[in-house]
Structure 1
Amino acid sequence: MDTEAQHMERDLSSGPEEGAEEGSRSTHVPDRSPASMSWGRTVFLGMLCTLALLLFSTFVLQPFLIPSGSMQPTLRVGDRVLVNKLAYRFGSEPRRGDVVVFDGTGSFVQETAPGGNAVGALLQGAAASLGLAEPAGSDFVKRVVGVGGDRVVCCDERGRLEVNGAPVDEEFLYPGDRPSQVAFDIVVPDGRLWVMGDHRSNSRDSRDHLGQPGGGMVPVERVIGRVDWLGWPLGRLGSLEGTDAFTGIRPADGDHG
């Protein structure tokens, strides 16, 4: 009897332990490894930072890779400049002498129907907005020479550009370049800009579109922003040097300086 009772007690005591052990095994979920959690957080933070940079670049300050030598010596091929997108957001407009980035669709390049690889275009646009790739073929960087109402003439008897009858000594021109090898006499319509590169002999600008629809004039609303700073290379890091070349030119009307 004592032996049978011991067996029964042993069976009763062992049953719940086995069941509990099985239940524990069936409901246990292994923890995620610290490595996978760390990798997930890194990816998430990377995506968040990229999104923040894209938003900042879209609305505030955009890096822009200089793809050509049309603005030498002011800007060189491979320079990364920072485009101030707030410069003309609160009632201000481009002024003579400003270096601006603009969308040349409809003025410098023809409008085209959308097509091609949409995903590739999106990725290229995102890379360009971070200064990691060349800008779209419709984006240009030039210097504002004439604003709405201005009469811009080239050239006077001394070979200088004239704006509203006043000669302009363009100290920013590429050494050895003339203000223009193409003669012109134009009046800039209101709401538009006459723009030219500093390397006049190596720049396709407003002069190249004389006689075409729009006459090479860039609509003010197509201006993306003003180039205010050089971000790369480090040896040229700093604000973009301004110019006094247009100081003292009388306005064509009371709205422009």
Structure 2
Amino acid sequence: MFAWLKEVATVVVIAVVLSFLIKTFLFRAFFIPSESMVNTLDVDDRIFVNLLVPEPFSLSRGDIVVFRDTKGWLPPVEEKADGPFTWVQDGLTFVGLLPDNSEQHLVKRVIGLPGDHVVCCDAGGKLTINGSAVDEPYVNPAEVPQARNFDVVVPEGKVWVMGDNRNHSADSRAHMDSDGGFIDLDDLEGKAAVIAWPLNRITTLDNYPDVFRNVPAAP
């Protein structure tokens, strides 16, 4: 009996250690709390984020990224009362067995990389990047996006991000009075790679390389 319990305990410890290492160096799970990325991501989706982007692998236009809210985009979160199993949930989140639902992260799509000149909008109502207009098939087709005019050049070390559900996304456009609406590359947790839950929505996430194929390099 003791030998069996020892074997089970060993397996559990190995699983926890592997999960912690994966969460720390490769992938991390996150919970989607808002509708800012509909239809790409729905409320309550669970996603896995590739922690190897933007380093050592490079970031691309169109990537969906999760980033820490160091700019104060989110309202203050009230501390939740500790329940009888709060420490268990916190521990499982820490080792990567539960998604992070701390509400201190945001998820958006990268539209502008460092040096990019991003403008909304041209005469046809399209977004332009470095003078090239782009068609955006990932934008929520259920609504006609309400234009919020802007003309920005992305500084070094930063990115310009926008939600796919343009009418319901407080993204870079809504925070131009705070550091220009730009997000620091250092604040990026990584690139969203997969919807892992619910089961009927499991899929890899596309960064639509064809959309940005003809965008010239930043000056």
Equivalence for 1:187: 153
- Corresponding residue number in structure 2 for 1:144: 110
Q: Tell me the C-alpha RMSD between the 2 structures.
A: 2.9
Q: CA deviation at 1:190?
A: 0.9
One of 175, 197, 205 as aligned partner of 1:240: 205
Q: CA deviation at 1:162?
A: 1.3
Give the conservation status (yes or no) of the 8 Å contact 1:159–1:178: no
Contact 1:64–1:128 under 8 Å retained in 2:
no
The Cα of 1:45 is off from its aligned counterpart by: 3.2
**Superposition deviation, residue 164 in structure 1:** 1.3
Structure 1 unaligned regions, length at least 5: 1-33
Q: Distance in 2 between matches of 1:125 and 1:202?
A: 33
In structure 1, the residue matched to 2:61 is 96
What SS is found at the alignment partner of 1:53? helix
Structure 1 residue corresponding to 2:18, chosen from 34, 39, 52: 52
Matched residues in 2 for 1:219 and 1:122: separation? 32
Q: Shift of residue 125 of structure 1?
A: 7.2
Q: Retained in 1: the 8 A contact 2:63–2:206?
A: no
Return 5+ residue gaps in structure 2 as ranges.
none
Specify whether residues 179 and 149 from structure 1 end up closer, same or farther in structure 2 by C-alpha distance, changes over 3 A only.
Answer: farther
Structure 2 partner of 1:74: 40
Please list, as runs of the form range in 1=range in 2, the aligned pairs for 1:1-257 lying within 5 A after superposition. 34=1, 38-39=4-5, 41-90=7-56, 92-106=57-71, 108=73, 124=90, 126-127=92-93, 130=96, 132-212=98-178, 214-243=179-208, 244-253=210-219
Distance 1:96 1:47 in 2: 39
SS for the counterpart of 2:181 is coil
1:153 is displaced (CA, Å) by 1.1
SS at match of 2:192: strand
Maintained 8 Å contact 2:61/2:207 = no
Checking the alignment, whether the CA contact within 8 Å between 1:79 and 1:233 is kept in structure 2 is yes
Bigger RCO (CA 8 Å, 6+ sep): 2
Q: What per-residue deviation string (whole Å, max 9, x for no partner) do you get for residues 141-192 of structure 1?
A: 1100111111111112222111111111111111143444322111110110
Preserved contact between residue 64 and residue 207 of structure 2 (Cα < 8 Å): no
CA distance in 2, matches of 1:51, 1:64: 19
Residue 103 of structure 1: how far off its partner (Å): 1.2
Q: Which amino acid is the alignment partner of residue 245 of structure 1?
A: V
Distance 1:160 1:78, change over 3 A: same
Distance in 1, Cα, partners of 2:46 & 2:149: 33
Task: Report which of the two structures shows the higher radius of gyration computed on alpha carbons.
Answer: 1
Which has more helix, going by share of residues? 1
SS in 2 for 1:245: helix
Q: Secondary structure at the match of 1:97?
A: coil
Counterpart Cα distance in 2 of 1:141 and 1:249: 23
Q: What SS does the corresponding residue of 1:215 show, helix, strand or coil?
A: helix
Percent of pairs identical after alignment? 35
Separation of aligned partners in 2, 1:204 and 1:125: 31
Q: Distance in 1 between matches of 2:94 and 2:145?
A: 31
Stretch of structure 1 that moved more, 149-158 or 171-180: 171-180
Q: How far off its partner does 1:128 sit?
A: 6.8
